[in-house]
Amino acid sequence: MKLSIIIPCKNEEGNIEDLFKKLNDTLKNIKYEAIFIDDGSTDKTLEKLHKLYEKDMQHVKVLSFSRNFRKEAAMLAGLEHATGEYTCFIDADLQQNPKYLIEMYEFLENNKNYDEVSMVMKNVNHKGIMNLGKNAFYKLMNSLCDIKLESAASDFRMFRNNVKEAMISLSEKNRFTKGIFSWVGFNVKYLPYEVEPRTSGNSSFGFIASVKYAFEGILAFSSKPLKLSTNLGILSLLASFIYFIVVLIQVLALGYKMNAVYALIILMLFMFGIQFILLGVIGAYISNINAEVKNRPVYIVKEKLGFSDKGIL
């Protein structure tokens, strides 16, 4: 098998047949499998997938979830079942034109030094606030996390098996695939593509869902919010010392009368400082536990030379 195409579908009854027809027309000369994942659709998506399978068993594969597990889960299931030399994701709603698959495929065929092609949206089709929100999120994410995210890059990507294996090796349950793509590294070529309007049905990612998704991304890839407390604590402690010195000068040099309120403010700032710093210490341990529980690989191998399966030659 040369190419595996992973297609997460939730309530896409109006798009599936069109998409498959376009895929089939586009990929005439490539040996491919289209892995449809029905992510708990409540419309006729699964019925349509059954029909497609009956019609073209050579190309169509269907995985159907027992309920909606969300797109991230569908993508992982696709990766785990893909058998192609190259794997790619494409949405079911025809917003990502299958013609770009050929562009990605040819790029990988002709550029052995690249492991992945990622399509970047030329025309972001979100309106006003969503667009602002998305840009703000990527800025925040890039400043908080060690990984870097391309703001207009989507999950519309094609990659070699080394990337696929690496993606699967991150076995965390709260998956943020965009971040995982960045985390695993490899040589990525970014190419522009034009997003098309959804042909049928509605987007599952409204404003609230997008905010939740953004929050999950930060949770999965940054422990900096946990360190916020330590920084606040240090500031509070510093403020208490500075205020202590100011009061000292006022009382000893300038002849002010000592006031209980001064002492109370100094004490409060000092105690807050200590508390926040200790919270930060707990945060640091939680961050370590979090990293251990996620059990990400310590390193990812891109290529091996001179090793047999049995060990070093």
Report the interface residues with ligand UDP, using CB under 6 A: 8-10, 12, 39, 68, 70-71, 74, 91-93, 95, 203-205
Q: How far is the CB of 268 from ligand UDP (least distance, A)?
A: 48
Are residues 154 and 104 in contact, defined by beta-carbon separation less than 8 angstroms?
no
Match 């310590």 to its residue by tokens: 298
Are residues 150 and 118 in contact, defined by beta-carbon separation less than 8 angstroms?
yes
The radius of gyration of the chain from alpha carbons, rounded to an integer in Å, stands at 26
Cα separation, 234 vs 64, in Å, equals 52
Q: How many CA atoms lie within 13 A of 236 on its CB side?
A: 19
Part of the chain binding Mg ion (CB under 5 A), chosen from 61-69, 73-81, 84-92, 241-249: 84-92
Residue number, 69 or 272, with CB nearest to Mg ion = 69
Residue number, 205 or 215, with CB nearest to Mg ion = 205
Q: How far is the CB of 5 from ligand UDP (least distance, A)?
A: 12
Q: Which residues contact 173 (CB under 8 A, 6 or more apart)?
A: none
Residue number, 201 or 233, with CB nearest to ligand UDP = 201
Does 96 interact with Mg ion (rule: CB under 5 A)? no
Q: How far is the CB of 43 from ligand UDP (least distance, A)?
A: 11
Q: How far is the CB of 210 from ligand UDP (least distance, A)?
A: 8
Match 């030094």 to its residue by tokens: 113
**Residue 8 contact among Mg ion, ligand UDP, none, beta carbon within 5 to 8 Å by kind:** ligand UDP
Sign of CA dihedral 138, 140, 145, 146: positive
The length of the chain is 313
Q: How far is the CB of 13 from ligand UDP (least distance, A)?
A: 10
Which one among 39, 72, 93, 115 touches Mg ion, defined by CB under 5 A? 93
Token pair listed for 218:
């930060």
Residue number, 39 or 116, with CB nearest to ligand UDP = 39
Part of the chain binding Mg ion (CB under 5 A), chosen from 6-14, 89-97, 230-238, 240-248: 89-97
Helix (H, G, I), strand (E, B) or coil at 308: strand
Q: How far is the CB of 298 from ligand UDP (least distance, A)?
A: 31
**Residue 285 contact among ligand UDP, Mg ion, none, beta carbon within 5 to 8 Å by kind:** none
**Residue 74 contact among ligand UDP, Mg ion, none, beta carbon within 5 to 8 Å by kind:** ligand UDP
**End-to-end Cα spacing for the chain:** 30
Nearest residue to 270 via CA among 304, 243, 230? 243
Paired strand residues for 64: 38
Residue number, 33 or 93, with CB nearest to ligand UDP = 93
The binding site for Mg ion (CB under 5 A) comprises: 91, 93, 95
